[in-house]
Amino acid sequence: MEKQTTLQISGMTCAACAFRIEKGLNKLPGVTKATVNFTMETAHVEYSPDSVTIEDMIKKVEKLGYTAALKQEEGAGDHRKKEIAAQKSKLIASAILSFPLLWAMAGHFSFTSFIWTPAVFMNPWFQLLLATPVQFIIGKQFYVGAYKALRSKSANMDVLVALGTSAAYFYSLYQTLRTLDGGMQHQVELYFETSAILITLILLGKLFEALAKGRTSEAIKTLMGLQAKTALVIRDGQEISIPVEQVVVGDLFVVKPGEKVPVDGEVIEGTSSVDESMLTGESIPVEKRAGDTVIGATINKHGVLKVRATKVGKETALAQIIKVVEEAQGSKAPIQRIADVISGIFVPIVVGIAIVTFVIWFFAVAPGDFAGALEKAIAVLVIACPCALGLATPTSIMAGSGRAAEYGILFKGGEHLEATHRVDTVILDKTGTVTTGKPRLTDVIAANGMDETRLLQLVGAAEKNSEHPLAEAIAAGVKEKGIPLPDAESFEAIPGFGIRAVVGGSEILVGTRKLMARYGIEVEEALEEMGRLEEAGKTAMLIAVDGAYAGMVAVADTIKETSREAVARLKALGIEVVMITGDNERTARAIAREAGIDRVLAEVLPDGKAAEVKKLQDAGRKVAMVGDGINDAPALATADIGMAIGTGTDVAMEAADVTLMRGDLNSIADAIFISQKTMANIRQNLFWALAYNVIGIPIAAAGYLAPWLAGAAMALSSVSVVLNALRLQRVKL
């Protein structure tokens, strides 16, 4: 049986590192699929425990030159904080040591001759003293990363940085040593400032990157922050406050007004309204009474509720939401593979371009000018760092899926977030998706002198013994009218026909035409009215009392208030909307007409829904199937995108690619809109990341870009890509 695990990876410096680890893990026997996310510093692995162990995976990562450990649920934020603190310390030290070198460089130009420069700043040995700790202590991480990469026969950003800064440092060291011959202090050309300032700028870029990475996972932090910290549990007849982690299934707990529900449970006692907006996005509180379910982290508004815990810890709806969002943020969209492939071959190509640049300048453009040729080659190496390319896709996926989660839309993975924007046909299941899924009593017609209240009392008393959904709807409708229901003396369900009961000495029949015919009851006068009700999408039931026709009741599964608006929105997006149902054609068309849906597939059995999806796909359509995730599972799995209407408790429906936490069909258009925005953002990021390199490399090779400017541009490219992705966190639906 296949398992999944997530590893926390340390030591990655760019997308090429992630690509290499991913490649290494995928080569392990027993690993089905490994996805490494550079931004989240995680590796998500699907594997067969019979063929490979987690220890094998960790050893493989370590062999490639990185560190790996099983991802802990807690402490991820601490890891990020430590990383940011370390980057800050290095940056401050590097900036302090580099500043005199920058000052000395500023005094070199004729147009800056007015700047006073202390003589000691121009001394080669003083510059060597400042540059050496920056190069080998602060910059040690680049040498270590480059060594690990080259040892595993690949190259990454560290190789470019180490090559560029080492070339500048060691050339300057050579020139400094030459001053020992005497009298050359003012003739030497030194590039200590180039290597030191480059390292400082790269560290600045990495700090911005780390800060931005922290912000992209803001959605998960927000979700985690929703959890209640304590629960008021009843044990041995006493109310005691305990940490929410100590609540176990079966515990009874009390939720007072204004408090958060600690875990998922079933109301045992009390009535109240509960704010479930954190889960569904709906601002109107939901009424709760005995028998209803409540979800952890929702807020009790008014009454006191006594609840029995049914799901705790990782099983709660909120924990499932967090898990789905984390997996989506850690997954990889197909478009990212383009960036991965480019990153994998990019560094060797850049090194080649740098060598060619040096050769052309040294032998052709400025023969014998070693320092000038070296400067151009360093600029090429530095401007070409593929950091921005590696950040382009994962930061957008994280920001987009996080924003979607805030609106109650859970994408199971980056590939689904990408695919959703291509949808051109949406198939809606009728019951529970277009409609409320809860039939209710809509019409009462008394006949032959029967009093309506008396008719409802007899029918309600007879139907309250039945477990059929339509019978429950009738009994509930009668109770709502405040009519008391006596007990029936006898009750008999007649499958496919209706029921027969005796209430208060009267024989009651409720059901179809066939039931009336079986007992010889004349109902000709009612057939026209019955046909009219059925034409309106209602289920009509005939009633006979003591052998004579007495009237009829009708029950309907009404459409949701927002269904018509949602269908109109989808049509406005140019998407064809189709309704699919197992109901008869007449009822289905009535519901579709009310919702504004033009195309109906009626009388389709659950196993036939998948075949209907396939037909549309064969016709070249990109299909999204929207259903309740249970009887629609085959169709959800077959569709290009399966969307499950979730109520929170069914959040991890396996068959669906997207879970819509709200029952509102507007979430479909919202999901498509967020997918479109995210894909547009990714394309912008990839364009700018590549544009920096495509434009920057020729400018650097032509000698128009000083190495320190190349370093600044490289850092800016990474930061701009991350900031662009973060715009998704402010998307308004």
Distance CA 491, CA 471 (A): 13
> Within a 10 A sphere around the Cβ of 229, how many other Cβ atoms?
10
Judge contact between 46 and 31, C-beta under 8 A: yes
Residue 195's closest CA among 219, 170, 224, 227?
170
Judge contact between 125 and 223, C-beta under 8 A: no
Distance CA 509, CA 488 (A): 12
End-to-end CA, the chain: 41
Residue-wise over 506-539: b if at least 16 C-beta within 10 A, else e? bbbbbbbeebbeeeebebeebeebbeebbebbbb
Residue 100's closest CA among 77, 125, 66, 67?
125
Residue 417's closest CA among 182, 103, 675?
675
Distance CA 76, CA 42 (A): 11
Judge contact between 15 and 389, C-beta under 8 A: yes
> Within a 10 A sphere around the Cβ of 666, how many other Cβ atoms?
20
> Within a 10 A sphere around the Cβ of 107, how many other Cβ atoms?
15
Q: What is the DSSP letter of 263?
A: S
Tokens at residue 472, please? 């429950």
- β-pair partners for 544: 509, 549
Show Cβ contacts of residue 427 under 8 Å, excluding neighbours closer than 6 positions.
Answer: 578, 579, 580, 601, 609, 612, 613, 616, 623, 624, 625, 626, 635, 639
Q: How far is CA 520 from the centre of its chain?
A: 61
Distance CA 663, CA 560 (A): 9
Which sequence positions are flagged as catalytic?
Answer: 429
Q: How far is CA 396 from the centre of its chain?
A: 11
Kindly provide the residue ranges of all beta strands, DSSP E only, lying in 395-439, ordered along the sequence. 409-411, 425-429
Residue 431's closest CA among 600, 579, 640?
579
